[in-house]
Amino acid sequence: MLKTLIIKIILKLTIYQFNRIPQLIFKYDSWNCVPFIQRKYAVDIVRYLKQNKDMESVIDIGCGTGDIIRRLPFKKKYGYDKHINVIRGLHFFSFFLNKGPPIITNQFNFSVDKLTGKYDAIIIIDFTQNIEPTILKETINYYFKNNLRKNGVIITDTFYNDPDRKYSHDIINLIKYKHTIDEISNTDNGRVKVYSIKKI
């Protein structure tokens, strides 16, 4: 037990320091350095999407340095973020750690820019707590109607009773079109939940 704990601590410190080098070079926020294995929700999203064998295209809006999208074996992968510095970090990590085809990147502001194209999976994670509820609902419904293929999924998160987050969102009333909802991750003592919203 102690040996396993020591190995985990060493691994954590090693990975964190490796992540810190490009963060200092490209000058993006340090929270992007948190190792993938420490973010249960990210691990759960990758596991969930890998089970969907018929999906070919995925876009991660707010992709950061690409911890999620780099691990997905889809034929077409898109990583969009409003911060150009983290996109540069994504390119750095992708050179060593990307699975599958190259990730097509773009600087993109969720609240302002219009999304184009059709996707099997749209990931909107880790920033919804900063989006005003009516804007989030309007934008996600636009994506659901115009950018999501039939049987495709939108992956998004909600936050409950968390004083550190600006907004919480009601997942039940988020989508006005025909859909199903599955909870795929539950972290931080139930305060953070990740859902898959499927278009049917």
Phi-psi region of 27 (alpha: psi -120 to 50; beta: other; left: phi over 0): left
| Residue 149 domain-assigned (yes or no) | yes
Length of the chain equals 200
Confidence of residue 11 (pLDDT cuts 50, 70, 90): low
Q: Does residue 19 fall inside a structural domain?
A: no
Global pTM?
0.89
Residue 158, domain CATH? 3.40.50.150
- What CA–CA distances, in Å, run from 37 to 8, 15, 41, 44, 144? 10, 10, 10, 10, 30
Q: For residues 9 and 88, what is the distance between their CA atoms, to the nearest angstrom? A: 28
In this structure, what DSSP letter does residue 130 have? G
Does some domain include residue 111? yes
**According to the per-residue pLDDT averaged within each range, which of 50-54, 78-82, 125-129 is highest?**
78-82
Mean local confidence (pLDDT), 151-179: 86
Asked if residue 32 is part of any domain, the answer here is no
Is residue 29 domain-resident? no
Q: Which two tokens stand for residue 11?
A: 């691994």
| Whole-number percent of the chain with pLDDT over 90 | 61
Q: For the chain, how many structural domains are there in total?
A: 1
Counting Cβ atoms within 10 Å, is residue 32 exposed (0-12), middle (13-18) or buried (19+)? buried
pLDDT digits (tens, 9 = 90+) for 98-156: 888 999 999 999 999 999 999 999 999 989 988 998 999 999 999 999 999 999 999 99
**Does 130 fall in a domain?**
yes
Are 121 and 57 in contact, with CB atoms under 8 Å apart? Answer: yes
Parent domain of 176: 39-199
Average pLDDT of the chain is 89
